[in-house]
Amino acid sequence: MPKQMLPVVDVPMIERVLDHLACHGVDEVVLSMGYRADAFVGAYPDGVCAGVRITYAVEPTPLDTAGGIRFAASAAGIDETFLVVNGDVLSDIDLSELIAFHEKVGAEGTISLTPVDDPSAFGVVPTDERGRVQAFIEKPNAEDAPTNLINAGFYVLEASVLDRIAPEGKVNIERVTFPAMVTEGSLYALPSEEYWHDTGTPERYLQAHWDLLNGDRDGPPAPGAVELRAGVWRVGDVVTEGDVQPTSFLGSASTVEADAQVGHSVVGAGARVASGAVVRRSVVLPGAVVEQGAHVDGSIVGERAVVGAGAHLTGLSVVGNGSTVDVGALLDAYRSGPPT
């Protein structure tokens, strides 16, 4: 499954990303992709996602970040100012403010920046007092980083940027295109303190759920969610015969059977936690089953997967969609793909 199709509190990540864009007036999006485009087409056959019209640009071969942007823009016939957004970043960055700043300073390109504790895994972006980018430093050592402001993966670009990108082959925007713009003084950046979260690892994918459940973002954790009781959210009808502790979410038609325990977890739509099972700090995706007496702790259970009776999953184990964990298995930091 493409990462952007993974649900975050029962809503596909791509829908959360596009809903954010729609809130700032975006009504048309081109999805640039190379992996499993069929998953998106199947999910949104009418070409609409989160109220936004979508078209697809499927790269014949991997083109890297700048090459992918040029390919998608060419496929869509883009010839005016446009936004570029990473599909696996969840954020509340004020894109309207970013666009207004871009227009005010007359930039060719503008990057949104966000502060992080450790910038070594990202691209840091020092600027002058007007917001003009002085350098674009990709993944520096923490002790050498001139700032903790990193590239947040939201860009406002003029169509002229496309002419800077070679029409064929791989081109990296952070290492090639942006540094050339920095040299010419045409790249600007605007910091934001708004919520920003890269979901790029299983650990960070789990954290995206906790941020919603803990109220670190405004509103309910999912559209239409209501509190069953303090700190326990549900969507639609659920069966809760067992013990569900805050902060947790139960998707529509999910079941927590008698003597089961769920705490600080997400149980997706149609999923079932059987009698005597325990789910803690975990995400059980839609349609999955945690069988009788099984324990899932700090882990992810994929859609329609089955954790066999008495099995134990710990250490950020990840069970692939449709997979089965054997009865009584003891698995730590386990990784499985879908069944072959």
Residue 142: CB atoms within 10 Å:
12
Q: Give the 3-state secondary structure of residue 142.
A: helix
Q: Residue 338 pLDDT more than 70?
A: no
Residue 25: CB atoms within 10 Å:
9
Burial degree of 34 (CB within 10 A; 0-12, 13-18, 19+): middle
Q: Residue 340 pLDDT more than 70?
A: no
- Strand 48-49 and strand 52-58: the pairing is antiparallel
Six-digit token string for 53: 């019209």
- The structural domains of the chain, ordered by start, are 3-200 (3.90.550.10), 203-332 (2.160.10.10)
pLDDT averaged over the chain? 95
CA–CA gap between residue 274 and residue 306 (Å, rounded) = 11
CA–CA gap between residue 224 and residue 313 (Å, rounded) = 31
* Average pLDDT, integer, range 67-90: 95
Q: Residue 337 pLDDT more than 90?
A: no
Q: Which residues contact 189 (CB under 8 A, 6 or more apart)?
A: 110, 111, 112, 113, 125, 127, 131, 133, 149
**pLDDT tens by residue, 171-225:** 999 899 999 999 999 999 999 999 999 998 999 999 999 999 999 998 899 999 9
The pLDDT score that the predictor gives to residue 74 is 94
CA–CA gap between residue 290 and residue 70 (Å, rounded) = 45
Q: Residue 122 pLDDT more than 90?
A: no
CA-CA-CA-CA torsion sign (320, 245, 13, 66): negative
Length in residues, the chain: 340
The pLDDT score that the predictor gives to residue 300 is 98
The pLDDT score that the predictor gives to residue 313 is 98
Residue 118: CB atoms within 10 Å:
10
My answer on whether omega of the bond before 61 falls inside 30° of 0, hence cis, is no
Cα distances (Å, whole numbers) of residue 201 to 185, 283, 318 = 34, 14, 11
Spatial CA neighbour of 106 closest among 191, 24, 25, 187 = 187
The pLDDT score that the predictor gives to residue 142 is 85
CA–CA gap between residue 21 and residue 6 (Å, rounded) = 18
